[in-house]
Chains A and B, each alone.
Chain A
Amino acid sequence: MDSKLDLEIDYKAGWADPEQFTASTDFGLTEDIVREISKLKDEPEWMLEFRLKALEIFKQLPMPKWGDQEKLLQVDFQKIRYYARYSEKTEESWDDVPDDIKQTYEKLGIPEAERKFLGGVGAQYDSETVYHKLREDLEKQGVIFLSTDEGLKKYPEYFKEYFGKIIPANDNKFAALNSAVWSGGSFIIIPKGLKVSVPLQAYFRINAKNVGQFERTLIIAEEGSDIHYIEGCTAPSYSSDSLHAAVVELVAHKNSRIRYTTIQNWSNNVFNLVTKRAFAYENSLVEWVDGNIGSKLTMKYPSIYLMEPGAKGEVLSVAYASHGQHQDTGAKILHLAPRTHSRITAKSISRGNGKTTYRGLITVAPNAGNVVSNVVCDALLLDEDSTNDTYPYQEIQRDDATITHEATVGKIGKETMFYLMSRGLPENEAIALICMGFFEPFAKELPMEYAVELNRLIEIDMAEYGAVG
């Protein structure tokens, strides 16, 4: 079975629109490029300084020495275009969005989802947000949901307080890169005590060839508030690589809850190297629901710093690595205060020569008494060439911590296949059904429409799976 070619065909979001930029930088990364981006955005001086400092850090920091070295070394920072936009402003009505772009989002089902069940939508197309709209009632209740560029203009005080404070530029090479060239992303504030019952969504689309997307998201849940944010992402299938290096910072204040759901379905030429981190304060709850289906290489370990007593962190991570893909994913939880709880559930499927890696870290600080942490990793390998590795790191500095870790690696048993096929299911349908069943704990956390989409993606990938008979 060799499915490299078929996969290109199978990827349903792989079309591209014309590259009619109204502004863009040249390929490559230099100080001038960073200055140009800042100028195009008409930013305050301090943000330019922040960017330039980050650029220096980026230059100094080495590439990670761990992870998929073979793929990582293919990233060529000088062959990426760091900024491209197609219009000068963010629209509040889909009718005002340029036709090509509007059609792309329609094909992706975004306006429809917005009408049906979302409280607000942001749509980023390469570097800039082309559409942004928050439901009026939520706006009236004081919810702030803007593109991050807009947010910086209107609420600089929040940026001074939080921006780059959860993930500083020197955290890692890709966080530094994002800090230097960031553009777009979501800026959200949920006011004290407000529980938003409908999700807010951002959709990230890379369009142009070799373009990099570097959105920067900051979500602040004030005391006692509740928010569910969803992000989706796709890109055209190109033979040359694109880079997505986002930074996402979450702040969950006392008694608040943030759920952050990602359904990442980048095309197979995108490097997805993302840093996500949350600070969770007293009795708050942060949940990362992280689905990685696409990309060439993903390296992403959403983390939660449990800063104050009673804070809880949960990560539910699923990864699907098809032929030629590597999903290097996991989670990091830092127990920095007493009575903090965490749970990580990681499920991965590898197919063809696809690779999945679980990389996780649990730390318990010396002052963090009575911590409970639970980690479960399950991997399913569909073919002989499929691989999975598990790296569960622990740094426990307390004797009273309750830490559990379970890991399983399995294949689909011959008798399971025989049973399903004896009821008339062809091999590929049987495998798809098992994969969907395996991802069920993730799918059931998604809004219905997204769960259906997830199952469809798996079905598509299985469609050309070695049919027999």
Chain B
Amino acid sequence: MSTLEIKELYVSVEDQEILHGVNLTIKSGEIAGIMGRNGSGKSTLAKTIFGHPDYKITSGDILFNGESILELSTDKRARLGIFLGFQSPIAIEGVTMSNFLRTALHLKNPDEKLENPIKFHRKLKSQFEQIGLDASLVNRGVNENASGGERKKAEMIQMSVLQPSIVVLDEIDSGLDIDALRVVAENITKQREETNSGFLLITHYNRLLTYTKPDIIYLMHKGTIVKSGGPELAVELEEKGYEKLVAESSNQN
């Protein structure tokens, strides 16, 4: 059972404040959705959770199982069992997916024996095929010559290999066609069932949320959470649009 708590988080990039006091909690076994327009601060939140060097926390805290992770480097946060699925996963020439993931898995579980490279390679290949990807991607550099959609699927495989307890997926649905979106949603659901991972799904379409049925949805606007609620919030958002819902919630405040 893991929790990731964001507490009154203020974040600046190049001296400009982007997040103005964000609060939210992700728990094992739960799916939280966070919706908002481009520029509302969703990706800033994701990158800040992982300690990206460009994002400075001016106030507030991030707690994993009750302990602050602000002093930890990105890799140490990851090894706690937190995973970030990138909005635009980059390609890394020469570093093969297979070698990369095998190393990452070993670093996460240093007490376990490093997996046999051939066995690991074979297993990874079949995972790629299962999700509808060309198995040759495993031999190539990470995301090398892969389309945006392929990279997103590969992020899902990385997630399932590393078995994190908390998963943050930053616009995993952008650039995916409807079939790929369904595959991604299935993987999220499966991962939750099998390992009881907790999810934070960052999106600005509610389709992913429709498929994955989150327990809680947060509406983000201009760097704060303006509204939260159950799955019905996504439906409401679909019907009324951002503008109206944001206006309504600021009136309520």
Q: Which of A's residues lie within 8 Å of B, judged by CB? A: 413-416, 418-427, 429-430, 433-434, 436-440, 468-469
Contacts and interface: CB of A to CB of B under 8 A. Distances in A.
B163 to A, nearest CB: 12
Interface stretch (B56-64, B88-96, B119-127): B88-96
B182 interface: no
B141 interface: yes
Contacts, number: 83
B40 interface: no
A469 B90 contact: no
Contacts of A421: 73-75, 78
B128 interface: no
Nearest to A432: B103
Contacts of B53: 414, 418
A415 B83 CA distance: 16
Given A423-B158, A438-B94, 20 more contacts: A418-B47, A418-B53, A419-B86, A419-B89, A420-B92, A420-B95, A422-B86, A423-B78, A423-B104, A424-B75, A424-B78, A424-B79, A429-B107, A433-B95, A433-B99, A433-B100, A433-B103, A434-B95, A437-B95, A469-B76
B75 A469 contact: yes
Q: Is the interface of A mostly helix, strand, loop or mixed?
A: helix
Nearest to B101: A423
B235 interface: no
Q: Is the interface of B mostly helix, strand, loop or mixed?
A: mixed
Contact of A437 (B47, B79, B141): B141
A418 to B, nearest CB: 6
A3 to B, nearest CB: 20
B190 to A, nearest CB: 20
Contacts of B90: 413, 415-416, 419
B50 A422 contact: yes
Contact of B107 (A415, A424, A469): A424
8 contacts: A419-B89, A422-B75, A423-B104, A425-B100, A434-B95, A436-B95, A437-B141, A438-B94
Contact of B92 (A426, A437, A468, A469): A437
Nearest to A428: B75
Contacts of A468: 73
Nearest to B84: A422
A155 B128 CA distance: 59
Contacts of A414: 53-54
Contacts of A426: 73, 75, 107
A438 B53 CA distance: 24
B75 A425 contact: yes
A427 to B, nearest CB: 7
Contacts of B92: 416, 419-420, 434, 437
A427 B93 contact: no
A427 B73 contact: yes
A437 B94 contact: yes
B107 A425 contact: yes
Nearest to B106: A424
